[in-house]
Amino acid sequence: MIAKLKGIIDSKGEDSLVIDVGGVGYLVECSARTLSALPPPGEAAEVFTRMLVSENAIRLVGFATAAERDWYVLLSDVQGVGPKVALALLSALSSAELASAIAMSDAAMLARAQGVGPKLAKRICLELKDRVPAFAGTAADAAATAQVSGALEADAPSAAADAVSALVNLGYGQAQAGAAVATALKEAGETADAARLIRLALKALAQ
């Protein structure tokens, strides 16, 4: 299993690149977002990879970050999302946007990707809502969600923890509730009480 390649970018195409590692050129399929994030031909680069093995071929799919690769694996687990559709999703949306869309069940955002219809977008939201990383997208959101998660793990009495607990009791997944409360915290501030956080989180979940 080849998990990472480190070498010189030899060339770039519309949906792939060739990276020279010690004189050996590896053809790597990539999303448009990955291709734009990696340096131009002639420069050194590190490409995280996922090896796909079939009866007819062995292919490498490349990513600019390990997080992007993790998203590819996660998306590929969904029925109906093959390698091509997973790359299309990663081309259309950043990792943060994917997390936010799934946490908020925003199927319309996922449907922006080529090959993703309304039914498949809803299935992605449904199957991944409890597996999506518990962050809403930005560094501030991630920090807020970390605070929520930390409060829950420590069983500390806090408005944020109470808000997440209330949303979970209403039937929302842990990650989905955490992301929504993180969004509410960003808007209302850390001094907001649980009732206000719950109202803002429900508003975010309804969008």
Q: Which helix (H) or strand (E) holds 5?
A: strand 4-12
Residues 177-195, mean pLDDT to the nearest whole number: 83
Q: Give Cα separations from 85 to 69, 100, 111, 163 (angstroms).
A: 14, 19, 11, 35
Predicted model pTM: 0.64
Instruction: Delimit the domains of the chain by residue range.
Output: 4-63, 66-128, 139-206
* Structural tokens at position 63: 């990513």
* Rounded distance between C-alpha atoms, residue 12 and residue 49, angstroms: 16
**Predicted local confidence at residue 199, as pLDDT:** 85
Q: Which comes out higher in pLDDT, residue 133 or 197?
A: 197
DSSP label at 93? S
pLDDT tens profile 134-151: 433 443 444 444 444 444
Residues 72-94, mean pLDDT to the nearest whole number: 91
Rg of the chain, C-alpha, whole Å: 19
CATH code given to domain 66-128: 1.10.150.20
CATH code given to domain 4-63: 2.40.50.140
